[in-house]
Structure 1
Amino acid sequence: MAFVGKSFCTFVLLVSCGILSLGTSFASADDFDLVKDGQAQATIVVPVQASIWEMFAAERFQRYVEKISGAKLAIKKESDAVSEKKIFIGHTRASSDILKRLIDQNNPDETSMIVAKSDVVHLIGIDDEGTMHATYFVLEDFGCRWYFPTEWGTVIPQSKTLTIPQQETLRVPSFKIRSGIASVSVNEDNDASWTLWEWGRGNHLGGWTWWGGGHSYEYLVPASNFDAHPEWFAFYDGARHPDQLCTTNPEVRNQAWKTLEAMIKDHYKGKPPRLICISPNDNNNFCQCPNCLKLVPERSDGKGKDVTNSIDRIVEFANFIAEKLAKDYPQCYVTYYCNYHSVGTPKLVTPAKNTVFWLTHWAEDQFHGINETTRLGNAICEWKKYGNPLFVYTYWGSYGSYHFWPAVHAIAGDIPYFYKNGTIGVYSETHPHWGGQHLNFIVFPRLLFDVNTDVEAWIDDFCSRFYGPAAQPMRDYYRRLEQVAQSGPAQYHEIAQLIPVFTPQVMKELRRNILKARKLAHETGEPYRQRMEFVYAGFELGDWYFTAKHLERRYAQTRDPAIRARVVDLYGKIRERINRPEYKNKLIEETLSVPATIENDYAFAKTGTTFAPGNFRYTDSFIQGGRTYLDAVKRSGLIDGWWGLDMDSSSEGTLIYKFKAEKGMFKTSILKSMNGAWEQIGVDIAVRTAENGPWKSVTSTLESGASSLPLPIDLTQTVKDNDVFWLRINLKNRAKTYIAAFMGFELTGDVVQK
């Protein structure tokens, strides 16, 4: 019998899955005695020609058993004489019948088996990965947990006696691909390996690997070839550009296959990953040469080619590579983003059978679950009709929010939905903001391995083992985080979008729970105190951020300088916290734009619209009001929105800023950029240099729409040699039926000393 795509646990004598005993109270005559009263009762036995990973599994088992009990089990080759009871790890001769059974049942990659009798134990997988799973599941059932990639974040129980109940336990991962960390911030530690790698092993991440990241055209035919071969690259706007490939060019195809084949032979020694990503670069500037246009379907309204629809061009090029792979490497699949660059399935081309469709959970709500009506759910329904495997790309560690991102309630529903609809793998671009988002990282690996996991029970297990006496208030803390996220509005990874979710009242409730937990952890001592301090430090990042944002709104009403000073102080605390050595690159991931965001929050709150001599730059994206509460001297007719400042249909709004040169005067000033729904919004821009002076109109598109706005706009002639000027932006939503958004501007220039 084959167990495919689901976790199964089969026992000879045990009723419950995964119950191994610590201590003597659960022992029976049928149990395998591993350690008794601190003394080793068995020897680890590995194959004579053990693989690297079989030896690794044996050494890890030895290490953790010693940490738990103090007893160090010997590791011997199967050819060595062994008088003690044996625990076989890997493809030993003694385990050959079990391996044959696994193979004969057509079990998939990573299948693991634990067979335990009173005198012998076999930890074996159908492959090395399966053997690793079997080993770590025994350790897990001893009570080991890998919650954080640190020593204090790893739970290792203490017991002088260890027994393994009689059993036969078969496990098969629910998904063939279970990957979840976008970047690794800690290097391998040869002494203890308390690292992100060990965290991944302990949480059973792994499965198929792939080549090419997600945007791979650049690797196949690099843009460095553009000068010599411009014809290899995309044609649009009357010229060739290096951003994408001309995928119908025969030379491009040959070059791409040549690059790929060399990589397979040289780097992978003829054994390539199961997935080969043939996906466009990260932009939508696709080729529109005559040959490529043949792969562009007609618009539904009959008005020519739909050049925004790129999926047929993507699929046709990938099919070329798929045909080559099918001949030389039949075990491999091609994959590509199906719904990132385009919407809908191809109209002119049929995807190759050796293709895994990669679908992205991108540009849509992350907090309220996936179903047939959501963007990703709809794409899953459309693409699964081909019968090919599906692969999902999602985000369970936010790239835009560095503090709270409570998504467990969505994860708990989304992963089973993926499984039910033919998904074989999930990759989460999990930016490791461990301080505030760790519960996501503790839950999603478990569900990916076993889609039937009881999530509530797993969180209870985490709270109990990790927090000890502080478990209950921390459980209440996590439950409240999830409740407010689930009941709140849609979220799209923009940090400011969470401001309406984490109100002062919500923060007060969260603070009460975590302070209660902190008190209990401190009263109990280590290891709970250290764990609690790290989690509390992560909580404070969110607490300070949302407190600052709500204070900004009070400042807009009162203009009380003490409130602004408090805002600056809170942003300064965030800045200082993430740079402390014990927290640096641990509370949050610092490889993206997060540190720059924090620096900007602090700097702009501190300086506002006053600039010292030298170059200056002022910018705001207006998400959830942006900096308007701190810096705009007037704001009317505008609504805080998810992507900027919104205006109701046929309404008008105004922003006025006062810009000041500190100990100097303005030499230049340029309105460099403005962003918004320009087809709907009209703009009138005016400047004055005296508080009650007349406004000088710079440009106006109130009636024509801002798409005709002549950016950049040089304000120098009006503001030059003045130490202060006011900028007025009048906005008009010309649309009659829907909201339009103003999404930011950038002002630059120079201040010189008087």
Structure 2
Amino acid sequence: MQRSRRDARSEGVRISPLPDRSLSGGFPMLIGRIIAFLFITALAITGGPTHEALGATAGLRGSQPLNIVDSGKSATAIIASPKAGRFESQAVNDLQKYIALMTGVALPIVNTPESIEKALASARPLLIVGQAAVENNASFKAKLAAVVKSDPHIRADGIGMLRDGNKIFLAGANDESHYFAVAELLRAWGVRWFMPGQFGECVPQETRLVVDNLKIFYAPPFELRSFWVSWLGESSGVTDFQLRNMMVDNNANVPPAGHALGQYTAGLGKSVFEIPLTDSNTADHVAKATEKLYAAGKDFSLSMEDGLYTATAASDAELNKLQWDKYSLRPSVSDAMLALLNGVARRLRESHPESRSKIGFLAYSNMFLPPVRTIMLEPALYGMLAPIDIDPIHSVQDPRSPPKQEYLGILKKWADITHGRLTIYDYDQSMLVWRDLPNPSHQAFEEDVKAYRDAGVLGIATESRMALATTFTNLYLRARLMWNPDADVHELLEDFYARFFGPAREPMRAYWSEIFDAWEKTIVTEHEYFVAPAIYTPELVERLGPFLQEAEKAVQKQPLSKNGELYVERLRFVRLGYETMRKYAEMVKAAASDLDFQKAVAAGQEGLRARDALTEMNKAFTASRLESGTAFWSGEVQHYQELLSWTNGEKGRILAPLPLEWSFHRDPDRTGKDRGFLSDPVDLSYWRAHRQDYDLEKLKDYPPTEWEMIRTDLYVQAQGIRHPDQQSFTGDIWYRTQIRLSARQAVANPHILFPGLFNACELFINGAEVAKRQQVEPWWVNDYRFEWDVPLINELNAGDNTIALRCHNTHHMGGMFRRPFLYTPVNSGGG
């Protein structure tokens, strides 16, 4: 039963009892999951500060609650080993610190042999931490050892929390795990670290801290649970944040897997990406270059460089034919690359059989797909799977995302090939080129993490940029799920709203739930800023505003206490994030839909100012230090400024806006020309009769034999153009429209400008091809302007003109995403 804050304060904060259960990999899977669920249920504090935690009940019959602090008084001492390690010492100090912050009482720390012996012989309450706990309770030590992985590849974490009379034993399997045990105790008392630094810390004010019958021993399924801050993102406070949320350093005993192969293959090919992978001389060369490292027992990386590889040896030719990588649009080099890596590792093992060196490699780029051939991987090789081109929005269980379901098969095969010597390198924020808008990940990760556990991977190393305006609760929820994959995300979020926003809990729940639902329900599977208008629609942005206003009013009514000041600061963060979002959405609509580039530039500049205010408020809120060029927000605004100059008379004048909606036809078999798509009348009778039968989800089943209508301000997959199996549509896509021009317009040196267009294309005017556009695949290697300017001198007629555009869509985004228009350059005599 939940209790109000008043009840919690007056009756005390209790760590409630848990039945005598241990959690370990030795349990059958079903029993282990049930117990893990009970564990997280016990630890979770839902619905706000009701503080019944660490137990399924409020207390066991006959239990005697132990007061740690009561009404500003305490007889409790903290016992610490004089040999305490770095994190163990921090655990002791933080236990003292946060109890004092909660209650105003600073407990004494006892850490000399004589004083420890005296304290242990007394009847006073004792919080015994780390080595002191293990050394003074043999049964506790044995039960902790029983749940911890006995044969780890990287590290073995685990915690024990036990009450024995007046003594509370808190310890872990290693130095960091000692801290984890203390962090779980503080968590049970209501302390939270939702984000790094003071901004994300929540410390309740309590008059009484109590421990009931407590007996928990638990080990997480993953050896590695980590993230690192890339893109020159703000990293202050990250170490403490990770530690307090049961994460470990990204380099903690993990075989390095950074891009490294190029330094060992220099001179063997035309470039680091064009080398003879299966040539025995290549393996000899790399083995010789790394022999000293291996002989010394040092771990090192042979990971591919960051690019697309071509295997050039004569012996590579047959392997190149084994599979086509549809994500990188290249032959897969997995078989050839693993032949090289295995050859190097075998040579090194045979030369130095005593070495325990680990060799890391990346399954990435066009080595992402597992090999076709059966291979026995050398035991020194440790893989890191980086799904950079896989849908990050949906989970591996979501039928709306065939790519994510394919990823599950890829994951399982790599885990099998490596015999579990595999870690996951994922991305959060998952929108790789983005616009500082919220980009939640929990809707996918809460299912993906279970798949990782079931596949037996070693763990997860996440590339983050911090950028809290984008990632928000992602890293916190990831931490809880990596520690226990059966954690209830709904309960964790309910707890977050109450503690982080206080009196604004309800409107903030509504605000963020709208955002989370938009991501949960979207059909888009891509991972760059082009998806933003498909998710942050004008309707969504408008719905969010009143919730934020209500939250601000709720906080204004509260007395200005320390927590009250934090609530104000957090809502200012949300307000600036909302203004950033609102202005970005306004900018995109003005440019992509309305061709109002002046308004787009103004809105974009206002949005950037809101983002700058976020950065000034806290550098961890954004990560824009590396942003330069058209791909990024400031570059997008500059692009609209340039487009404005082609329409306002500076460089050109607009002749005619082309329609926002065009006729559209799917052409998976590339037979559109023969079927009259160029100039035959467009028959929309089926569309008009059945449009209401096809919502966004059902458009995948629209007959490919019929014309339909589509907007030009959003790429086609986001508008429901998918295959019946929900794969993003690939093949040819056709746009058709008509434009009526005056005689003066037709001879005014007209150009057609596509301000946002993917794919290689052909443009047809009145049935004749007038231009062909080449694009390099994959799409992301092209200029992020995605612009196509075609002169149409002597191509347009006075009166009606038919414009047809055929796009060759090979993967991911297809078609137009900004509305095209006709313009004439200045001094051309037109108008």
TM-score under structure 2 normalisation? 0.67
Q: Give the 3-state SS of the residue equivalent to 1:608 in structure 2.
A: helix
Amino acid of the residue matched to residue 129 of structure 2? I
| In structure 1, distance between residues paired with 2:370 and 2:306 | 18
Match for residue 108 of structure 2 among 74, 86, 111 = 74
Q: Does 1:221 align with 2:264?
A: yes
Any idea what the Cα deviations from partners look like across 1:630-659, whole Å, max 9, x if unmatched?
A: 998546668431689999957456999xxx
Q: 1:737 to 1:121 in 2, by over 3 A?
A: closer
Residue correspondence of structure 1 range 407-422 to structure 2 within 5 A: 407-422=441-456
| In structure 1, distance between residues paired with 2:168 and 2:330 | 62
Q: Does 1:282 align with 2:306?
A: yes
Q: Is the 8 A contact 1:358 1:392 kept in 2?
A: yes
Q: Give the 3-state SS of the residue equivalent to 2:462 in structure 1.
A: strand
- Aligned partner of 1:345 in structure 2 is 371
Residue correspondence of structure 1 range 151-190 to structure 2 within 5 A: 151-183=198-230, 185-186=233-234, 188=236
Q: Does 1:491 align with 2:525?
A: yes
| In structure 2, distance between residues paired with 1:737 and 1:118 | 68
| In structure 1, distance between residues paired with 2:304 and 2:298 | 24
Q: Is the 8 A contact 2:147 2:217 kept in 1?
A: no
Amino acid of the residue matched to residue 350 of structure 1? M
Q: Does 1:89 align with 2:89?
A: no
Structure with greater strand share of residues = 1
- Aligned partner of 1:396 in structure 2 is 428
Q: How far did 1:95 drift?
A: 4.1
Match for residue 533 of structure 1 among 552, 572, 594 = 572
Bigger mean CA offset, 524-533 vs 322-331: 322-331
Q: Give the 3-state SS of the residue equivalent to 1:110 in structure 2.
A: coil
Q: Give the 3-state SS of the residue equivalent to 1:527 in structure 2.
A: helix
- Aligned partner of 1:641 in structure 2 is 715
| In structure 2, distance between residues paired with 1:264 and 1:327 | 10
Q: 1:320 to 1:100 in 2, by over 3 A?
A: farther
Q: 1:735 to 1:312 in 2, by over 3 A?
A: closer
Q: How far did 1:568 drift?
A: 2.4
Q: Does 1:361 align with 2:377?
A: no
Bigger mean CA offset, 440-449 vs 735-744: 735-744
Bigger mean CA offset, 503-512 vs 457-466: 503-512
Q: How far did 1:139 drift?
A: 1.2
Q: Does 1:610 align with 2:645?
A: yes
Q: Is the 8 A contact 1:311 1:338 kept in 2?
A: no
| In structure 1, distance between residues paired with 2:39 and 2:317 | 65
Amino acid of the residue matched to residue 537 of structure 2? T
Q: 1:553 to 1:641 in 2, by over 3 A?
A: closer
Q: Is the 8 A contact 2:498 2:505 kept in 1?
A: yes
Any idea what the Cα deviations from partners look like across 1:479-538, whole Å, max 9, x if unmatched?
A: 211222222221312212121322222111122222211221222242211111112222
Q: How far did 1:417 drift?
A: 2.7
Amino acid of the residue matched to residue 567 of structure 1? A
Q: Is the 8 A contact 1:68 1:158 kept in 2?
A: yes
Q: Does 1:114 align with 2:161?
A: yes
| In structure 2, distance between residues paired with 1:417 and 1:263 | 35
| In structure 1, distance between residues paired with 2:370 and 2:40 | 49
| In structure 2, distance between residues paired with 1:126 and 1:431 | 30
Q: How far did 1:3 drift?
A: 0.6
Q: How far did 1:605 drift?
A: 3.0
TM-score under structure 1 normalisation? 0.74
- Aligned partner of 1:568 in structure 2 is 601
**Cα RMSD (Å) of the superposition?**
4.8
Q: Give the 3-state SS of the residue equivalent to 2:271 in structure 1.
A: strand
Match for residue 174 of structure 2 among 127, 133, 139 = 127
Q: How far did 1:472 drift?
A: 1.2
Q: How far did 1:91 drift?
A: 2.0
Q: How far did 1:136 drift?
A: 0.8
- Aligned partner of 1:599 in structure 2 is 634
Q: 1:320 to 1:348 in 2, by over 3 A?
A: same
Q: Is the 8 A contact 2:37 2:487 kept in 1?
A: no
| In structure 1, distance between residues paired with 2:583 and 2:569 | 21
Q: How far did 1:49 drift?
A: 2.4
Q: Is the 8 A contact 1:30 1:117 kept in 2?
A: no
- Aligned partner of 1:552 in structure 2 is 591
Any idea what the Cα deviations from partners look like across 1:547-601, whole Å, max 9, x if unmatched?
A: 2222335633xx6xxxx54432321122222333533633222244389622123
Bigger mean CA offset, 637-646 vs 503-512: 637-646
Amino acid of the residue matched to residue 311 of structure 1? S
Q: Does 1:241 align with 2:271?
A: yes
Q: Is the 8 A contact 1:683 1:705 kept in 2?
A: no
- Aligned partner of 1:733 in structure 2 is 806
Q: 1:43 to 1:594 in 2, by over 3 A?
A: farther
Q: Does 1:37 align with 2:81?
A: no
Q: Give the 3-state SS of the residue equivalent to 1:162 in structure 2.
A: strand
| In structure 1, distance between residues paired with 2:718 and 2:502 | 44
Residue correspondence of structure 1 range 253-402 to structure 2 within 5 A: 253=283, 256-257=286-287, 272=299, 277-293=301-317, 296=320, 308-323=331-346, 324=348, 327-330=353-356, 332=358, 334-337=360-363, 340-347=366-373, 349-353=375-379, 355-371=381-397, 373=402, 374-386=405-417, 388-389=419-420, 390-397=422-429, 398-401=431-434, 402=436
| In structure 1, distance between residues paired with 2:183 and 2:465 | 25
| In structure 1, distance between residues paired with 2:809 and 2:454 | 43
Q: Give the 3-state SS of the residue equivalent to 1:469 in structure 2.
A: helix
Q: How far did 1:146 drift?
A: 0.6
Q: How far did 1:676 drift?
A: 5.2
Bigger mean CA offset, 132-141 vs 105-114: 105-114
Amino acid of the residue matched to residue 635 of structure 2? N
Q: How far did 1:144 drift?
A: 0.8
Q: Is the 8 A contact 1:149 1:198 kept in 2?
A: yes
Match for residue 205 of structure 1 among 247, 269, 280 = 247
| In structure 1, distance between residues paired with 2:555 and 2:570 | 9
| In structure 1, distance between residues paired with 2:309 and 2:478 | 35
Q: Is the 8 A contact 2:531 2:718 kept in 1?
A: no
Q: Give the 3-state SS of the residue equivalent to 1:178 in structure 2.
A: strand
Q: Is the 8 A contact 1:9 1:169 kept in 2?
A: no
Q: Give the 3-state SS of the residue equivalent to 1:586 in structure 2.
A: helix
In the comparison of the two structures, how many residue pairs are matched? Answer: 654
Q: Is the 8 A contact 2:69 2:209 kept in 1?
A: yes
| In structure 2, distance between residues paired with 1:610 and 1:202 | 53
Q: Does 1:470 align with 2:550?
A: no
Any idea what the Cα deviations from partners look like across 1:201-239, whole Å, max 9, x if unmatched?
A: 222122755343443313x527xxx4xxx23xx3xxxxx
Q: Is the 8 A contact 1:47 1:90 kept in 2?
A: yes
Q: Give the 3-state SS of the residue equivalent to 1:282 in structure 2.
A: coil
Q: Does 1:102 align with 2:132?
A: no
Any idea what the Cα deviations from partners look like across 1:271-327, whole Å, max 9, x if unmatched?
A: 75xxx5432112223331235447545579xxxxx9813011221233245444794
Amino acid of the residue matched to residue 170 of structure 1? F
Q: Is the 8 A contact 2:23 2:219 kept in 1?
A: no
Amino acid of the residue matched to residue 733 of structure 1? R
Match for residue 437 of structure 1 among 434, 456, 471 = 471
Q: Is the 8 A contact 2:233 2:465 kept in 1?
A: no
| In structure 2, distance between residues paired with 1:310 and 1:298 | 9
Q: How far did 1:329 drift?
A: 4.7
Percent identity reads 16
Amino acid of the residue matched to residue 165 of structure 2? S
- Aligned partner of 1:622 in structure 2 is none
Q: Is the 8 A contact 1:295 1:348 kept in 2?
A: no
| In structure 2, distance between residues paired with 1:655 and 1:599 | 34
Any idea what the Cα deviations from partners look like across 1:139-166, whole Å, max 9, x if unmatched?
A: 1111110112121320011224323323
Q: Give unmatched runs, 5+ long, in structure 2.
A: 1-21, 27-31, 46-50, 151-155, 559-563, 664-710, 722-729, 740-750, 777-781, 793-800, 821-825
Q: How far did 1:43 drift?
A: 2.8
Q: How far did 1:446 drift?
A: 0.9
